Every structure is written in C-alpha cells, then in structure tokens.
C-alpha cells in the first residue's frame, strides 16, 4: 500500500508539472489574431504583460530565446504601462529600422551583432512585414517588442559601460541604473529623439576613442572574418606544433607539402619573414607565430577590448594629464586635448608588471637615493649576499639598520635568512643611481613611481618591458619642466615660488638633493591599451602581459 501511494504521488507530480509546462508553452505558441487594427496595441500590451510575468517564473520566449536584461525590462515596461516601444497598429516605428541597422553594423562600434538577437529580430521584423496572417498576430508583435527592447538595453549598457566588468558591477544588475540610466534613454527615444543620436551620445567623448572608431570603420570595411588555425606558442608537443604551423601556412596561401622537411620549411619561413618585414632567419620563432596569429578577427577583438577600456576612464578627462600606455612603451602629456610632448618609457617585465594606476604627481625628488624593494632583495640580492658578502659594495649599494646606521655586510650571517632581511639596502644619489637624477612621486599602493634611469641606453630597444614595475622616462627633463610651469599658475602674485625650471636644472647639476612639492598636482593615468590610431591607421602593440588574451578568454571566449 505504501509503495502504491508513493507511486501514485510521483505520477501525480509528473502529470501536474507536465500540465503546467504545457499550459505555459501553449500560451506562447498560441496565435492571437486581431481583426480590428485599432485593437492591436491593447492586445500587444496584454501579451507583453504575459511575457514579463512568465519570464519572472524562469520561462523563455516561445522560441526559447533568453531575455538578457529581464529585470531591467520588467522595470521599463512597468514604467510604460506595458505598452510597446517599437510598433503601433501593426506598423514598425522608424526606431525599429534604425535599431536593426545599428545592430547590423555593430562591428563599427566594436560590438558583436550576435549579442543583440540580430538574426531573431531581423527574422521577426521581416515576418511581420511580409506575412499577412502573422502580421495580425499580437503574440508575435509582443515577442518582437520585448526582443527589440532587450537588444536596445544591451546596446545602451555596452556602449556606455562596456563589457569588461564582472556581473556584480554591471549596470544590468544595478537597480539604481534602471531609472537613472536605462529609463532615461528609453524616455528620450519614446519622446521622439533620434535613436542614432542617443546611441552616439551614450558613448565616451574622448578624442582618442572617436579617432579609433573612425579608423575602425575603415578596418571593418575590408576585414577578413574567416577563422584561421591558432598556433600555440611556446609549445609542448613539437609534432602537433609543426602540423598546425603547416596548416596555417596553407591557409595563408603558402604552398607547403604535408611531408615538407625542415630545409623546405625553412625556405618557406624565410620568404614569409621577408614578405612581412621580419628578420629572415628561417626560424619558426615568436615573431613568425605572432604575425600568423594576428588575424583580422584577432585584431578586431583587440580593438573591441580597447574601446571598452576607454569606457572605464572618467567621463570627462582633466584639462591636463600624463598618459602612460604600457604596451606602446610611451608616455604622452596632454593639455587642452593636445599632446604637448611624448617620451619613450621602460615599464615592468612580464614577471613584475607595472599596474594600472590613476593618481596625480605630487612631488619630485632630485638626486634621489634608492631604497631597494623587499621583492628585489628577496629574489636577487639575498642570493648574491649568501654567495659573497661584498655583493652590495660591488653594486654600489650599502646596508642600513633600523636606526639608519651603516652596517658592514660581512658581519652578517646571511645563511640564516630565507624570506627577507631586517635591514634596508640603499643606493646613494648620483649618475649611477638606478633612479637616475629625478623621481616623480604619486600616491599608489604599489610603491611605483616614474623616474630617470642610469641605463639610458635601454631606450634604444624596441621592446622595453624591462623594469621591476616602476616606469622609467626618457624625456624626464621635459616632464619636470612641464610640471614646474604648470605649478607656477597656482602661486599668487605676492607669493614667491620656491623653485623654477632653472633652479631644478642647477640643483641636479650640482647633485643637490631636493624634495620639490607640487602645489598643482598633475593627474596621471597608467593604462594598458594594445592598439591606438596613428596617422589614421590602427597600430597594434604586443600583449606584453597577456592582459588582453585573458580578457578575451573571460568576456569574449566564443568570439
């Protein structure tokens, strides 16, 4: 009896949920044909209410299309009394055509049209325009309206905030943004504002962003969207590597036999290198693989990521600021939307990358001493001291105790230290100092700063990711002069400015140590942008820290 009851109970549950499921699906699959056109808007409104209510219970649209911004849509349609946004009396609004066209050309904005229901809303729009029966179906009009709204909501979010944010920080999950951001823009187009103007205005107004977008339009017009073999390098399986390399050469239009030997392959590689302005040594190295992997699709991904990084900057940039772009190995000083000057830089190695920083330069140290960071002591100097207590002396460094007193390194038993030392290691000021003759300080939690260097010859290198994390500046004198001239504007007429460009030059020449406090701080942005527009053409930089590769895997894995 007990077993029979449990069986009957299970059967009842299965039948009940099947009935509920069928009922809900039946509602979505039903047509609601309207014979009187004047009643269509009310019928669409009723069906939109049903769709939102069903979606609240976890259901999808009739074709299983998920609503990506359901919570936002629930609020927006609630504010609009569930009335449709994109059609009226069986006719599409002009905004519907504008939105579909914008999505179709989404690539020109660094977006992927498949993220905005493109094929589905295109199909629905065409169906409701050409099929006389479907055109009278209020259910289809309601479904189409919700999908159009979902797409528009996604565009607003992606054009304003970008896609490089975790869900917890996304506008789509910020209820405050429903009213202040999404609803405000829905009202604008509902009240007659051009949808094109809205989607343009919501984007960053940064000069470089606009220039990159202009160049992107040209790039996309001739972009090769084909998917090519990706070559993994460095590799673990040499046979698999050569196989994928040969396949990629064939895709490139290079005739390579499957059984080509090493000499034949070397000849083909030399020609490829020569044709692409690479060192023609015939070696299948990093430069060749990198060039083959940098397809148009990959370039587009880099551009898309870079455009989104602009969206993470302040809406209005300062009138004057210092911009350090790590992959380009350059610093630019901006004033009134113009580059005053630029300088080569040296940034952190991949093992010790320079972090992203937003701060402001607040002082300059002339003829600084260098206190060696603990990370460098542990990794480089402690092993050296264990081998030879004269290690510091040979490097021009000295040892200090907690009181600032000099200690003889030979008096210490270095073998007992493994994770660090209870001393400071410093380098005196002067031309041989690792910081050079000037250091530019700014608040940050990483103990990073801009500075000169005693290894100025390294600026000749094309790849300049060589430091322990700080940024070395080739044109340090131009930078200091700009800071001083800018600072002078903040001093009142009756105040005597304690320094000027001449005094700083003199102090450096005389090897005097000075700490120059900056009254008018200069904003500083250290960023990682793997492409930018140079003379109308998009220039791509090496992903030195594999940051963009990681972002693509996290946010655009299927692109």
Residues near 136 by Cβ (< 8 Å), separated by ≥ 6? 33, 34, 35, 40, 90
Same structural domain for residues 331 and 472?
Answer: yes
| Within-domain flag for 52 | yes
Same structural domain for residues 189 and 328?
Answer: no
Of residues 114, 112, 115, 136, the one with CA closest to residue 37: 136
Domain span at residue 80 reads 10-203
Rg (the chain; Cα; Å):
32
| Within-domain flag for 39 | yes
Same structural domain for residues 197 and 58?
Answer: yes
| Within-domain flag for 302 | no
| Within-domain flag for 488 | yes
Q: Last residue of a domain, which of 182, 203, 224?
A: 203
Q: Last residue of a domain, which of 153, 174, 203?
A: 203
Neighbouring-strand partners of residue 546: none
Residue 540 backbone zone (phi > 0: left; psi -120 to 50: alpha; other: beta): beta
Structure tokens at 545: 């820290």
Same structural domain for residues 34 and 165?
Answer: yes
Q: Last residue of a domain, which of 169, 203, 237?
A: 203
CA angle 300, 301, 307 (to 5 degrees): 85
CB burial string 380-412: b at 16+ within 10 A, e below: ebbebbeeebebbeebebbbeeeeeeeeebeeb
- Per-residue pLDDT 10s for the chain (559 aa) are 444 444 444 444 444 334 333 434 434 448 899 999 999 999 999 999 999 998 888 888 877 888 999 999 999 999 999 999 999 999 999 999 999 999 999 999 999 999 999 999 999 999 999 999 999 999 999 999 999 999 999 999 999 999 999 888 999 999 999 999 999 999 999 999 999 999 999 999 999 999 999 999 999 999 999 999 999 999 999 999 999 999 999 999 999 998 889 999 999 999 999 999 999 999 999 999 999 999 999 999 999 999 999 999 999 999 999 999 999 999 999 999 999 999 999 999 999 999 999 999 999 999 998 888 888 888 888 888 888 888 888 888 888 888 788 888 888 888 888 878 888 888 888 778 899 999 999 999 999 999 999 999 999 999 999 999 999 999 999 999 999 999 887 777 777 788 899 999 999 999 999 999 999 999 999 999 999 999 999 999 999 999 999 999 999 988 8
Same structural domain for residues 449 and 323?
Answer: yes
Structural domains of the chain, count = 2
| Within-domain flag for 359 | yes
Same structural domain for residues 194 and 322?
Answer: no
| DSSP string of 428-476, one letter each residue | -SSTTSTTTTEEEEE--TT---EE--S-GGGGG-S--EEESS-EEETTH
| Within-domain flag for 5 | no
Q: Write down the pLDDT at residue 16.
A: 39
| Within-domain flag for 355 | yes
Same structural domain for residues 361 and 487?
Answer: yes
What CATH number did the domain enclosing 466 receive? 2.40.440.10
Give pTM, 2 decimals.
0.88
Confirm if 300 and 212 have CB atoms less than 8 A apart: no
d(CA 245, CA 264): 14
Q: Kindly report the number of other CB atoms within 10 A of residue 537's CB atom.
A: 9
| Within-domain flag for 154 | yes
Structure tokens at 140: 């289809």
């Amino acid at each position: 009896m007990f077993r029979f009851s449990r069986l009957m109970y299970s059967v009842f549950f299965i039948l009940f949920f099947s009935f509920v499921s069928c009922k809900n699906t039946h509602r979505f699959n039903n047509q609601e044909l309207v014979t009187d056109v004047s009643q269509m808007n009310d019928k669409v409104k009723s069906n939109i209410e049903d769709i939102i209510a069903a979606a609240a219970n976890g259901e999808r649209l009739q074709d299983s299309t998920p609503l990506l911004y359901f919570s936002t849509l629930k609020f927006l349609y609630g504010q609009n009394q569930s009335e449709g946004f994109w059609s009226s009396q069986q006719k599409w609004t002009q905004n519907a055509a504008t939105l579909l066209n914008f999505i179709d050309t989404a690539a020109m904005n660094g977006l992927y049209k498949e993220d905005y229901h493109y094929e589905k809303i295109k199909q629905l729009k065409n169906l409701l325009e050409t099929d006389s029966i479907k055109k009278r179906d209020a259910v289809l009009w309601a479904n189409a309206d919700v999908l159009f709204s979902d797409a528009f909501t996604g565009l607003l979010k992606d054009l304003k905030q970008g896609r490089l944010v975790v869900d917890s920080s996304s506008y789509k999950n910020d209820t405050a943004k429903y009213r202040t951001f999404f609803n405000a823009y829905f009202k604008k187009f509902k009240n007659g504002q051009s949808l094109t103007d809205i989607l343009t205005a919501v984007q960053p107004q940064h000069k470089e962003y606009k220039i990159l977008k202009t160049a992107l339009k040209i790039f996309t017009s001739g972009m090769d969207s084909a998917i090519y073999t990706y070559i993994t390098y460095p590799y673990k399986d040499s046979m698999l590597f050569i196989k994928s390399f040969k396949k990629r050469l064939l895709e490139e239009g290079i005739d390579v036999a499957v059984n080509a030997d090493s000499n034949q392959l070397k000849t083909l590689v030399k020609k490829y290198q020569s044709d692409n302005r690479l060192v023609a040594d015939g070696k299948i190295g990093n430069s060749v693989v990198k060039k083959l992997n940098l397809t148009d699709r990959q370039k587009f991904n880099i551009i898309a990521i870079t455009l989104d990084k602009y969206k993470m900057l302040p809406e209005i940039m300062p009138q004057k600021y210092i911009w350090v772009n790590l992959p380009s190995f350059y610093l630019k000083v901006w004033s009134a939307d113009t580059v005053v000057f630029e300088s080569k830089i040296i940034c952190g190695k991949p093992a010790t990358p320079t972090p992203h920083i937003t701060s402001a330069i607040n002082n300059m140290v002339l003829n600084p001493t260098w206190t060696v960071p603990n990370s460098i002591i542990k990794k480089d100097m402690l092993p050296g001291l264990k081998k030879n207590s004269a290690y510091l002396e040979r490097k021009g460094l000295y040892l200090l105790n907690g009181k600032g007193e000099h200690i003889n390194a030979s008096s210490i038993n270095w073998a007992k230290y493994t994770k660090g030392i209870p001393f400071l290691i410093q380098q005196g000021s002067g031309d041989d100092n690792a910081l050079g003759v000037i250091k530019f300080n700014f608040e940050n939690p990483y103990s990073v700063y801009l500075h000169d260097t005693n290894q100025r010859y390294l600026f000749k290198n094309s790849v300049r990711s060589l430091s322990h994390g700080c940024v070395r500046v080739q044109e340090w004198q131009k930078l200091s002069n700009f800071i001083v001239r800018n600072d002078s504007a903040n001093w009142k007429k009756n105040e005597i400015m304690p320094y000027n460009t001449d005094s700083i030059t003199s102090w450096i020449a005389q090897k005097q140590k000075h700490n120059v406090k900056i009254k008018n701080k200069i904003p500083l942005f250290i960023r990682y942008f793997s492409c930018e527009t140079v003379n109308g053409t998009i220039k791509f930089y090496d992903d030195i820290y594999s940051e963009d590769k990681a972002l693509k895997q996290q946010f655009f894995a299927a692109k």
